Structure 1
Amino acid sequence: MNFEKLIDYFKLDKQEFYFQFSSHPNYPSALAFSDTLNFLGLRNDAYELDKEYWDELPEEYIAVVDNSFSLVKKKGDQFAVYSDKIKNLTKEELYKSSSEFVLLFEKVEGAKTGSSFNYNPVIYAIFGLIILYSLFQFSWYESVFNILSLAGVYISLELFNQKFGQVSAVVNNICGVGTNNAAQSSCSKIFSSDKTNVLGLKLSDFSLVYFLGITFMGLIFPDAQFILRITTLVSAAVILYSLYVQFFVEKSFCRVCFLIIFILLSQIVISTVYFSWATSLAIIFISATVFVSLFFTTAFLNNLLKEKEELKKSNAKNLKFKRNYDLFKRELLDKERIEFSDSNTFFVGNKEAKLHLSIVSNPYCGFCKGAHQIVENLLHQYPNDISVQMRFNYSQDQQNEKYTQLISDFMYVYKNKPEQEFINLVEYWFETRDEGKVRQKAGITSSSENLTPVINMSTENKNAGINFTPIILINGYQFPDKYDREDIHYFIGELMEDEEIYKEIIPVI
């Protein structure tokens, strides 16, 4: 499935999206798609809605158009559909090509947007400089030859990256993805039929080595026309082999292959007509060194990326198992439920929410910062669906004056200021770990709060056998040790809908 334009529109992290989607236990279902968007911060709800009610839908929604999850935007009498590409449809065309599945979404702050560096502008800039250099430095036929070499490098690089899960818009457009499925399947058929294997490199990889080599020689060593002429003539054998496979073996035609063949034939004509036969041993030696170095470098990178891709697929399979909610729930309910009597101290979120999280922590605990961030992020993403109690371990007999003052400042802000200010103050503490700065941020000059509720809460923690921090509890059930605390993001949606988790839970007042 290809969601390029949809992902770009929401500015989501592309690699993270595809990884989370493919590793979902229900991949490639609508549930997997919905959960992935939720995980990335795009809150959504799914519905089966008759087309007669679609006029009442908001300006933007997600539907299944031509068997692909697509963003639909109303634009006057037409609809812009974002999936693998952007297309405009009339109302009749949209209704005819879509199912009744509709996903309504709400983008929240803090969504996991694309963070990986985009190398394309850098590559385009380098290519542009090379083209300008060729035009001003060489004759017209040498410039055309170098530009054709660059085109070959670009296409070959796209094919190389596509082997490792990166979607190539250029290759897809050439092969006719989304407009001609037969053309796309023909391209895939030809690529998959390539049985060449030299140190892991296939024929398409050799095209990358070839075009990189002649680009380098054509730019750096203009006197290497003899080498360029010989290499282009050798490429004629590759052209014949490719045509033989397409016409007589697979009986399918690959548009990308034909484009590369066109580039090779053009270079054969230019080199045959205009390039000289003059050469030297030095040029031959340098050329051999360049091509051999490029070959082994490409083979090394190919094997390295192949191992990385296999590891990624293995992680996705393992994560599918780990994200199985039934297994998580079994581990969660395996331990006895803990009931706390104090349900008012440091309590934030929706007090009527069915899903309640407790975090037992210590402000001076190094690992507690990460646990608080997880809980606070969940509270930010689902403000109406969960509640949280921060249960700091504190005993007046054992703690120093600074700790006492810090807890007192927390209590003052909790009792006298808006809830969000208390949450921000706790977050600020874990960022700075400076009692003076916390007091200054809270705007407190002198205050000594009654800490008896905190002391009693700490006693409850100890009596429940919670001696280590941080510990997260979900409706009284301790978060399973077999899971990382960050994994709660995978299950939060199902936890909010699971009635069994809520049974015998008395709403907090």
Structure 2
Amino acid sequence: MTENFNYLFQYLEKENITIDKTEFEFQIQSHPAYPSLLSITDTLSFFSIDNLATRVAKEQIDDLPTQFIVYLNEELNPPGLFFIEKKGENYSILKDKNTNTISLQELEQRWLEIVLVVEKQEFEPTKIKKNNFIGFFISLLIPALGGVLYSLNATAKEILFLLLPIIGVLFSVAALKDLFDAKSELLNSFCNMKASTSCDTIVGSNKWKIFEIVNFSDLSMVFFSFQFIGLFFSILTNNIDSFFMLQKILLVFAVPVIFASLYYQKYVEKKWCPICLVIISIILLEFGYLLVFQKINFTIHIQSILLYGLVFLSILIAWLGLKKLLTSQKELKEFHFKDSRFMRNYEVFRNNLMAYGKMQLPETPIIIGNKDSSLELALITSPFCGYCKETHELLEKILFKNQQYLKLRILISADIDSINEERKTFFRILMSIYLQNGASSFLEALTNWFTNKDLKKWLESYNHDFEREKIDSIYRLQNQWCIDNKFYQTPLIFINGYSYPKMYERKNLVYFIDDLMEDKF
């Protein structure tokens, strides 16, 4: 079960900070310390949101901002994080969409001194465009369904009954929300409205051995799907009476299942599942519907039994196959999270980084950032390398955020004596831009090149004087070092002289920067 971060998202919204919630949840679940406070602060930092987690005594509550997050004691649950907003003399506290108002004295009694605050962004956040495919699909499905029913001359009573299994299927999907990866704050609030309610506890329980084979959610999904498709078949074949007769039989057999579900919730798990209770209510409504509107004689033909048996068997096989596929995808996702946590563990990264020893890199005049920093990133690159653009963008992003705390040395791999004259001029001008105009002009020229990669236009834009012998000697030194150490491909990253581990993707470097800045090696 994943952690609910509604309190954090509410806080960020109050601070006018927009964040991609899905991406946030993926990144934080990949953190090796998930779901700790450290994982929250690191993930906020990953999204470039300035934040601070610190200890604050209860006597200093009045000195805090009007909005913040804090650890508080709970009466029936372990301590947790809450979003706090000061309103006059009182405080509003929020968690899991439940909002309460407490006094300063009550807050002090529950206070655990650990506070998280974020800093407002000065720029207008980029709005995230959400994919509304499901809403679009439903908007097309409803009129299409209505058109089919109209063409089949379905009666109002038949349409009324059809609505019940449709609702049943929707709530069955809701009961299996973890399997379908259907996240909904409203659904979470509905399932956890009281301390005595929990859909996840009931749906995920297997205290009865039979649940290892089939559970209540499977039964409801197959049952309502069969009703929905079966009614269509009955309207199409003009065999309504046989369908409703069969429903009476099935609903009679559903009664023991209902009692078993209620018993299991009340006495085995001692928790109520609101979604399960809604599904039970739908079945009882169907029973009432048949008693009131479908007073038919008990007659059913063998052909009808075979037809509906085939429909039921097809739905059952389809559901079991779909469930197996969804379960495999869920397990794969969970494995990916665990793998990401391992790969983002700093100690593991550090051990791999230092496994092959430190190298003495050649001299280069191109140093960007804080030249006195103890943390040095070095990049061996080539402007004509197909993979170097992405690495340059990554390192520039890291440097922009942490330029006071690290330096970036850039070594350019170029065999200045064997390339054509046009490229020689390009490399000499590029080096000369840094030597004469500094880091900003150099990065601007390099970015322009990676963006357009038009050599003639670039040379026209950056017509620059250069000292050929001095610059060529720099390139020869760096190129010979690469040859001597058998570094023939670019880009290559070094951290304080240690080669970046091959088992890590270069983009993962952002996860370790904070630890690298604190480490001394």
In which range does the TM-score fall when normalised by the shorter chain? 0.7 to 0.9
- Of the candidates 437, 447, 466, which is equivalent to residue 464 of structure 2? 447
Q: Is the 8 A contact 1:3 1:69 kept in 2?
A: no
TM-score, structure 1 normalization = 0.81
Shift in Å, 1:479: 1.4
Shift in Å, 1:388: 1.9
Q: Is the 8 A contact 2:168 2:224 kept in 1?
A: yes
Match of 2:354 in 1: 333
Distance 1:412 1:266 in 2: 82
Deviates more, 1:50-59 or 1:200-209: 50-59
What are the equivalent positions in structure 2 for 1:149-228 lying under 5 Å apart? Answer: 149-163=165-179, 166-177=182-193, 180-184=194-198, 188-189=201-202, 191-193=204-206, 195=208, 201-218=214-231, 221-222=234-235, 223=238, 224=240, 226-228=242-244
1:29-75, Cα deviation, whole Å (9 max, x unpaired): 22222223323443433211223434444455443355334454556
Deviates more, 1:113-122 or 1:264-273: 113-122
Distance 1:14 1:360 in 2: 36
Distance 1:130 1:416 in 2: 69
Distance 2:132 2:177 in 1: 14
Instruction: Report the CA distance shift for 1:104/1:348 in structure 2 as closer, same or farther (over 3 A).
Output: farther
Deviates more, 1:18-27 or 1:272-281: 272-281
Q: Is the 8 A contact 2:176 2:203 kept in 1?
A: no
Distance 2:205 2:320 in 1: 19
In the comparison of the two structures, how many residue pairs are matched? 493
Shift in Å, 1:399: 2.1
1:164-222, Cα deviation, whole Å (9 max, x unpaired): 66544344323325xx33323x8614640364769965320221222223233445754
Instruction: Report the CA distance shift for 1:469/1:341 in structure 2 as closer, same or farther (over 3 A).
Output: closer
- Of the candidates 396, 401, 412, which is equivalent to residue 392 of structure 1? 412
Shift in Å, 1:371: 2.1
Match of 1:29 in 2: 36
Distance 1:426 1:288 in 2: 69
Shift in Å, 1:88: 5.6
Q: Is the 8 A contact 2:415 2:476 kept in 1?
A: yes
What are the equivalent positions in structure 2 for 1:338-349 lying under 5 Å apart? Answer: 338-340=359-361, 342=363, 344-345=365-366, 347-349=367-369
What are the equivalent positions in structure 2 for 1:386-465 lying under 5 Å apart? Answer: 386-411=406-431, 414=434, 419=439, 422-439=442-459, 443-444=461-462, 446-450=463-467, 452-453=470-471, 455-456=473-474, 459-460=477-478, 462-463=480-481, 465=485
Q: Is the 8 A contact 2:364 2:410 kept in 1?
A: no
Match of 1:505 in 2: none
Gaps of at least 5 residues in structure 1 are: 502-509
- Of the candidates 105, 114, 119, which is equivalent to residue 101 of structure 1? 114
Distance 1:59 1:438 in 2: 53
Q: Is the 8 A contact 1:41 1:107 kept in 2?
A: no
Amino acid at match of 1:482: M
Distance 1:437 1:212 in 2: 64
Structure 2 counterpart SS, 1:364: coil
Q: Is the 8 A contact 2:18 2:125 kept in 1?
A: no
Distance 1:391 1:343 in 2: 6
Q: Is the 8 A contact 2:6 2:95 kept in 1?
A: yes
Deviates more, 1:423-432 or 1:363-372: 423-432
CA RMSD of the aligned region, Å?
3.9
- Of the candidates 255, 264, 271, which is equivalent to residue 236 of structure 1? 255
Distance 1:221 1:488 in 2: 61
Percent pairwise identity = 27
